[in-house]
Chains A and B, each alone.
Chain A
Amino acid sequence: QQQVKQSPQSLIVQKGGISIINCAYENTAFDYFPWYQQFPGKGPALLIAIRPDVSEKKEGRFTISFNKSAKQFSLHIMDSQPGDSATYFCAASMGGYQKVTFGTGTKLQVIP
């Protein structure tokens, strides 16, 4: 029940295309859903996050879509650039704790 399932495991997108990464969760007590971006040799960096009271959040080229009834959320990267090539993790946490449950990661490669 604590798992967050993420797909795909890897993704190759043409420059300028849309990258889409999907996640699903079981525990309805989760109330905070962040996405992290990690480059090799670096720690994860918070990209964008959403709470279940909204269905979509957009920050620049990054959009989270959230479907509470389906217990699914996704990250869309518009106009993908080679600099976006990194591993992306979805995550979820709940209530009064900073314990974050991470998805398994998606390695994104944006090719010119």
Chain B
Amino acid sequence: KAGVTQTPRYLIKTRGQQVTLSCSPISGHRSVSWYQQTPGQGLQFLFEYFSETQRNKGNFPGRFSGRQFSNSRSEMNVSTLELGDSALYLCASSSMPQAGEQYFGPGTRLTVT
């Protein structure tokens, strides 16, 4: 079974631009979560989607948004990029809606200049 895939793997953007990151979960998994990883803040939860519905959201500004499609693929969008948004953005998928095993993708490394 293929793992979680994320595209693109690396991205360089300029402050003020917007960016869209994509995540394809493991086949059959309907839950997708997004996390931001930075050296200073560690791993922080952004949001979780299950069956195209956002079920939970972390403490991030409204510039961070996401969505999930009927095939469980998910995208997250960051508008008006700030230097502090430079991070590794990780997507994780799970087969179950309740707390349980999550499988992470390799992440998208976003650099904002």
| Chain B residues proximal to chain A, CB less than 8 Å | 4, 31, 33, 35, 42-45, 48, 50, 55-56, 58, 90, 92, 94, 97-107
Q: When chains A and B are docked, how far (Å) is the Cα of A3 from the Cα of B56?
A: 17
Q: When chains A and B are docked, how far (Å) is the Cα of A103 from the Cα of B55?
A: 22
Classify chain A's interface size. 20 to 34
Q: When chains A and B are docked, how far (Å) is the Cα of A94 from the Cα of B106?
A: 25
Q: When chains A and B are docked, how far (Å) is the Cα of A32 from the Cα of B45?
A: 16
> Do B43 and A97 have beta carbons less than 8 Å apart?
no
Q: When chains A and B are docked, how far (Å) is the Cα of A94 from the Cα of B45?
A: 14
Say which residue of B33, B50, B55, B107 sits within 8 Å of A100 (CB atoms): B33
| Apart from A45-B104, A102-B42: 7 A-B pairs, beta carbons within 8 A | A32-B100, A43-B4, A89-B43, A94-B99, A96-B97, A98-B94, A102-B35
Most central of A45, A102, A103, A104 by chain B CB within 10 Å: A102
Closest to B97 in A: A96
| Chain A residues proximal to chain B, CB less than 8 Å | 31-32, 34, 36, 41-46, 49, 89, 93-105
Q: When chains A and B are docked, how far (Å) is the Cα of A43 from the Cα of B43?
A: 11
Q: When chains A and B are docked, how far (Å) is the Cα of A31 from the Cα of B90?
A: 23
Q: When chains A and B are docked, how far (Å) is the Cα of A43 from the Cα of B108?
A: 10
> Do B42 and A104 have beta carbons less than 8 Å apart?
yes
The residues of B that contact A101 with a CB separation of less than 8 Å are: 45
* Distance in Å: Cβ of A34 to nearest Cβ of chain B: 7
Q: When chains A and B are docked, how far (Å) is the Cα of A105 from the Cα of B19?
A: 28
> Do A44 and B90 have beta carbons less than 8 Å apart?
yes
* Distance in Å: Cβ of A17 to nearest Cβ of chain B: 26
* Distance in Å: Cβ of A5 to nearest Cβ of chain B: 12
The residues of B that contact A98 with a CB separation of less than 8 Å are: 31, 33, 48, 50, 55-56, 92, 94, 97-100, 102
> Do A99 and B100 have beta carbons less than 8 Å apart?
no
Closest to A42 in B: B106
Q: When chains A and B are docked, how far (Å) is the Cα of A43 from the Cα of B58?
A: 19
Given that A44-B43, A101-B45 are known contacts, is A95 also in contact with B103, CB under 8 Å in the complex?
no
Q: When chains A and B are docked, how far (Å) is the Cα of A36 from the Cα of B90?
A: 13
